[in-house]
Chain A
Amino acid sequence: NAGVMQNPRHLVRRRGQEARLRCSPMKGHSHVYWYRQLPEEGLKFMVYLQKENIIDESGMPKERFSAEFPKEGPSILRIQQVVRGDSAAYFCASSLTGTDSPLHFGNGTRLTVT
């Protein structure tokens, strides 16, 4: 499968636990983005990464959220001490270049915090 791969598809966490969401970009893509879709809201930009670099994290909450895209392996979005308000669909996307090519999304991870 040459598309953007995200796992897990569904994730249930209790309040206070950690959530780790994984994303492998399309083959040949080195630009990775994370977006969040909350119920009744549109998709919101969270963070833009390239290999080993965070380019723009202006959409990330200041606390509890972090992202990385290591030299080897998938990009990881990490949410510490989850709260009910973190329940949402988290989408990863990748593109060939940063600004002038289409964005391709994975199937998303639906996080439910109980």
Chain B
Amino acid sequence: GIQVEQSPPDLILQEGANSTLRCNFSDSVNNLQWFHQNPWGQLINLFYIPSGTKQNGRLSATTVATERYSLLYISSSQTTDSGVYFCARGISGGSNYKLTFGKGTLLTVNP
């Protein structure tokens, strides 16, 4: 079946540190998105990034579709970055709208 594997599963950082989260997927993709679920359960879309590189403030993401992975970079982390980061990809073909989520990376940023 469709696989979305995220690593690491857990990550603890001191405020100010940088981090890289990885998402591997098992098939070609043309719908790849990153989300942040904060401790209150809200899901925020960070990036729609089926290929290439995007940046938004301290966050940036790169997807290398030919090698089937995507990376999320967090620089100068803040306590408000804590939460779970999900990678999600669309199913190839006609059901591309249907996202399959990875299990997430639980990030804890300590002051």
Give the B-binding residues of A (Cβ under 8 A).
Answer: 31, 33, 35, 42-45, 48, 55-56, 58-59, 89, 91, 95, 98-105, 107-108, 110
Given A55-B97, A102-B33, A108-B42, 17 new contacts (CB under 8 A): A35-B99, A42-B104, A43-B86, A43-B99, A45-B98, A48-B98, A56-B97, A95-B97, A98-B97, A99-B90, A99-B96, A100-B30, A100-B31, A100-B50, A103-B48, A105-B43, A108-B43
Task: Give the B interface residue count (CB, 8 A).
Answer: 25
A107 x B42 contact (CB < 8 A): yes
27 contacts between A and B (CB under 8 A): A31-B97, A33-B97, A35-B99, A42-B86, A42-B104, A43-B88, A43-B99, A43-B101, A45-B99, A48-B97, A48-B98, A56-B98, A58-B98, A91-B43, A98-B96, A98-B97, A99-B90, A99-B96, A99-B97, A100-B50, A100-B96, A102-B33, A102-B45, A103-B48, A103-B88, A104-B45, A107-B41
